[in-house]
Structure 1
């Protein structure tokens, strides 16, 4: 598999398209806070982070899967022994198109 992460500009464009704050983007991607999200937007090589495929896949799945489909995936994750609770605020972050 080949993977090239989105550029900081690509991620900034996504953030703007979704109309989300840095904190909301951090929640969507499973990050601790907006500060971590902003590191993916940095062009400073000392602070820059590349978006891993697993994080990008997780966030995009949250945007495009129905709640039922996403819950089926989480159920399978739990079946293999993981514990996960995404209900921090209960907000549905899927796009509204």
Structure 2
């Protein structure tokens, strides 16, 4: 998990196949469910787009944590993935 977080946000669609494959392998190596601390660290790893669907895998991994990571509405210009996490928690009844 540390290697994935240390490498920072996911790359965008312009990344090489090798870079995306490397990040996918790192992500798939993370054990589920994640802890609350791990989920909070993973939130910083969303990139500028969906990285060919890898961002969805990251979102679902974060959601295996014990509670919603984002309990307050993100600012208007926040990363779209932060807003999705928050809205999914609201729609799921986890946040009022």
Higher-RCO chain (CA-CA 8 Å, sequence separation at least 6):
2
TM-score (norm 2): 0.29
